[in-house]
Structure 1
Amino acid sequence: MNSASLLQRINNKEAVIGVFGLGYVGLPLALCFAEANYKVIGFDTDAAKSKQLSEGQTYLTHIHAERIQAAIQGNFSATCDYAQASQLDAIIICVPTPLNKYREPDLSYVTNTVSQLLPYLKAQQILSLESTSYPGTTEELIRPLIESKGFTIGEDYFLVYSPEREDPGNTSYTTKTIPKVCGGETAACLNAGVKLYESIIDTVVPVSSTKTAEMTKLLENIYRAVNIGLVNEMKIVADKMGINIHEVIDAAATKPFGFTKFTPGPGLGGHCIPIDPFYLTWKAREYGIHTRFIELAGEVNRAMPEWVVQKTADALNEHGKAVKGSKILILGLAYKKNVSDSREAPAFEIIAKLKAKGARIDYSDPHIPSFPKKRDYAFDMHSVSLNASSIQNYDCVILITDHDEFDYQLIENSAELIIDTRNRFTANDKIFSA
């Protein structure tokens, strides 16, 4: 057997697409396939998500309900029932790949998903893993599971790795316009993967293997993590020298070659940059390699929430107050502006550290009305509204996430003291850069 029948179903838009994991990666991808007139079934273990989608509602602020409603009225459905996987021609896995408490890869979401799918696998089907992982994951973990069902990879079953490149809230690039890297376990697998993604994405970038595609994703995010670690360390040095690091960065960015602008912040957030580098450092140890450069950047970035807490304590001290007993307002829980994504956001560690020092904490985030459930943090808090009177009640305001919805002039006029981690306020005696 060969891939001809699968490719024909893809080309004729007769293929049924299944997307597993309807989060920040899976949901946009599923909608993209549905909008290209494929029948799409979205799978998620969270029954509340499936219910919301089935009712045409959204749970991601950057994806409008109207888009979901149009997809539901067309070719898209959402479910928790894995038995529906028997209908699928293409399986795309977009589930989380977190770190455990020892900062080692936790691939249980991936392996559990594939294991549950095994009864529904069939010949002339393609499976694509999009979840970020270490080089070798597809070959070493996924391939043996599929082969245990008697399939021959590249002949009657097709296996690829194509890393996600979603950037929630980025209006300049969409799922369709962001180039898509794809690697296959065999040449036939790669051909099938390219055909699948070419049906919805403008540019597909084929690479020689799944390992290459897996390493590509890690390099992209390690590049960012290392450079963010560099500017975070430079921020600390500049602060001690009385230099505005943001002015330095803006000046350096005028160089038309050899410099890429990165900006410091209160710590890393999102699913990718705080986690992905450690997938490579873990795998590298198998080859006897100590990735010192990557791990050093990780240490710098993980230390930034403590830096913010210390700057807050210093600023309060200059105003004759202690952290203990002070009322502090956190602006923004999301890891980046204008989205509701709070995965690995530094705000949670900052809140926990300030609470441990006796501060009384509130937060305001237009995208996160209630404090989300977290593995390490559980606070009964709700977003407070901002007005001159409410802001004046706080001893200190800390800007963590610079959402465009915040009225920065109102905040600056009303706050007694501001810790600015995003360079959004004009310098004056009550603004402390962190």
Structure 2
Amino acid sequence: MQPSSALASLSGRMSDRSAVIGIIGLGYVGLPLAYRFSELGHAVVGFDVDPAKIAALNADNGYRRYVGSRTEDIRFPAPFEATSDFARSADCDALVICVPTPLGKYHDPDIGYILDAARRVRPHLRPGQVIALESTTYPGTTEEDMLPELARDGLTVGEDIFVVYSPEREDPGNERFGIRQIPKVVSGVTANCLEAAKALYGGAVDTLVPVASTRVAEMTKLLENIHRAVNIGLVNEMKTLADRMGIDIFDVIRAAATKPFGFTAFYPGPGVGGHCIPVDPFYLTWKAREYGLHTRFIELAGEINRYMPDYIVEKTMEALNGDRKALNGSRVLVLGAAFKKNIDDIRESPSLQVMEGLAARGARLGYADPFVPALALADGTRLEAVTADAATIAAQDAVVIATDHDAFDYDMIAREAKRIVDTRGRFPAADAKVTRA
């Protein structure tokens, strides 16, 4: 297929940075991507359906980002505007969809946000636009589900408009790898669509990884996250066995990690959280049923990881029993509500499930997290964070290290805490007041 005039126009506007970039969904994926294109000199229009978020972004032309243990207030260097008016999508040369893909009540994929975004922009599509999907989803979504919602008379995909899939690989809080440094998998519905994907992302990242089809790219993202979920499930199961055998699993992992080949270190914790690892594997298990297959290995890892918060609650009960105390009525402080350290994301966080389990068994519960000032548990109970200072730590019957933010003073915690339930390996297992969980 020869490049069309629309593709040539798009490529030229991307090359000279005159293209206007539309980002649909201004969350953990969309906002950093919007900033990256703004950093390159592109005008950016951000689309969202949350009026409060739109107002806040327009008020200060920026957003807050967590980088390691630091926070940075980001200001867009090129023109940026947030809006809920999808008619503005006609002004954009590129529309990048970065919306959530949650699971339904029965662990079935919910691609409603993707389809809604496609329907909102469809009336405003014009020749020379590229529509890119970055949301994690099952193989076939781009071509079988989203593409029909974009179809318009007079616009030919691959000639007039270009539809691509390029999975996000955002890692909030990662100081080493940002959008530019992470290789970008790109794919297109047609050969010209793939060229449009290269034009869109080529200036934003150091390395492009073109693949043969959108289905390959969709499966690639799922494999990446399933790889993590399965290995985390494995090491969490190993943790429970090692505990029964009186072996420190963190010592085992550190020793195994010295092997220079054939081993990758994964670390246990209170479970898995965030927008990817607890959700994405089930996209593939759902799709596999269409082909008459049952992905037992993936589902087993999910079962193990979902069990871990209950395991932490049980270990906390055992630790308090060893101190001749019952969990019911004991003061228990959970350190860390976010699903990983040094960020504020509590989506699917196992820390919340640990809190809910402790509260259900009568604990006098509190939590500390410098990134999460308040939260609500599943039963509607609202909690406000306390400061993890010496007096607060000393007043607890047990402190549970659920998310090991760098901001916590671990030397002080070791000194002041009566009992530490450590799910992250921050304290020596030989310490008499430490219970590994």
Q: Name 2:74's counterpart in structure 1.
A: 67
Q: Deviations over 1:133-178 (max 9, x none)?
A: 0000001111111124542211111000000001111110111111
Kindly state the Cα deviation for residue 379 of structure 1 after the two structures are TM-superposed.
Answer: 2.5
Distance 2:106 2:196 in 1: 37
Q: Secondary structure at the match of 1:58?
A: strand
Q: Name 1:13's counterpart in structure 2.
A: 17
Q: Name 2:407's counterpart in structure 1.
A: 405
Kindly state the Cα deviation for residue 106 of structure 1 after the two structures are TM-superposed.
Answer: 0.8
Distance 2:319 2:379 in 1: 26
Q: Deviations over 1:75-110 (max 9, x none)?
A: 222222222112011000001001012111011111
With normalisation by structure 1, the TM-score equals: 0.96
Amino acid paired to 2:371: H
Amino acid paired to 2:252: V
Amino acid paired to 1:224: R
1:181-330 aligned at under 5 Å gives the runs: 181-330=185-334
Amino acid paired to 1:33: F
Kindly state the Cα deviation for residue 64 of structure 1 after the two structures are TM-superposed.
Answer: 5.4
Q: Verify: 1:382 aligned to 2:351, yes or no.
A: no
5+ residue gaps, structure 2, are none
Question: Which sits farther off after the overlay, 200-209 or 42-51?
Answer: 42-51
Q: Name 2:434's counterpart in structure 1.
A: 431
Question: Which sits farther off after the overlay, 5-14 or 393-402?
Answer: 5-14
Q: Name 1:361's counterpart in structure 2.
A: 365
Distance 2:434 2:349 in 1: 23
Q: Name 2:335's counterpart in structure 1.
A: 331
Asked whether the equivalents of residues 64 and 71 of structure 2 are also in contact (C-alpha less than 8 Å), the reply is no
Q: Deviations over 1:322-372 (max 9, x none)?
A: 11111110100011111111111101111111111111111000111111x
Kindly state the Cα deviation for residue 129 of structure 1 after the two structures are TM-superposed.
Answer: 0.3
Asked whether the equivalents of residues 60 and 340 of structure 1 are also in contact (C-alpha less than 8 Å), the reply is no
5+ residue gaps, structure 1, are none
1:103-114 aligned at under 5 Å gives the runs: 103-114=107-118
Q: Deviations over 1:260-316 (max 9, x none)?
A: 010010000111111110000000100001111111111111110011010011111
Distance 2:302 2:129 in 1: 39
Q: Secondary structure at the match of 1:362?
A: strand
Distance 2:64 2:256 in 1: 40
Q: 1:231 to 1:135 in 2, by over 3 A?
A: same
Asked whether the equivalents of residues 348 and 377 of structure 1 are also in contact (C-alpha less than 8 Å), the reply is no
Residue 58 (structure 1) aligned to one of 54, 58, 63: 63
Kindly state the Cα deviation for residue 5 of structure 1 after the two structures are TM-superposed.
Answer: 1.5
Distance 2:64 2:215 in 1: 33
Amino acid paired to 2:405: H
Residue 28 (structure 1) aligned to one of 25, 32, 45: 32
Distance 2:180 2:332 in 1: 42
Distance 1:295 1:206 in 2: 30
Distance 1:9 1:411 in 2: 55
Q: Secondary structure at the match of 2:435?
A: strand
Kindly state the Cα deviation for residue 6 of structure 1 after the two structures are TM-superposed.
Answer: 1.5
Asked whether the equivalents of residues 19 and 42 of structure 1 are also in contact (C-alpha less than 8 Å), the reply is yes
Kindly state the Cα deviation for residue 59 of structure 1 after the two structures are TM-superposed.
Answer: 4.5
Distance 1:85 1:249 in 2: 50
Kindly state the Cα deviation for residue 58 of structure 1 after the two structures are TM-superposed.
Answer: 2.7
Asked whether the equivalents of residues 19 and 26 of structure 1 are also in contact (C-alpha less than 8 Å), the reply is yes
Distance 2:119 2:142 in 1: 14
Kindly state the Cα deviation for residue 67 of structure 1 after the two structures are TM-superposed.
Answer: 2.4
Q: Verify: 1:4 aligned to 2:11, yes or no.
A: no
Residue 100 (structure 1) aligned to one of 86, 98, 104: 104
Q: 1:306 to 1:209 in 2, by over 3 A?
A: same
Asked whether the equivalents of residues 232 and 268 of structure 2 are also in contact (C-alpha less than 8 Å), the reply is yes
With normalisation by structure 2, the TM-score equals: 0.95
Q: 1:83 to 1:177 in 2, by over 3 A?
A: same
Distance 1:405 1:135 in 2: 40
Q: Secondary structure at the match of 1:177?
A: coil
Q: Secondary structure at the match of 2:74?
A: helix
Q: What's the RMSD between the two structures over aligned residues? A: 1.4
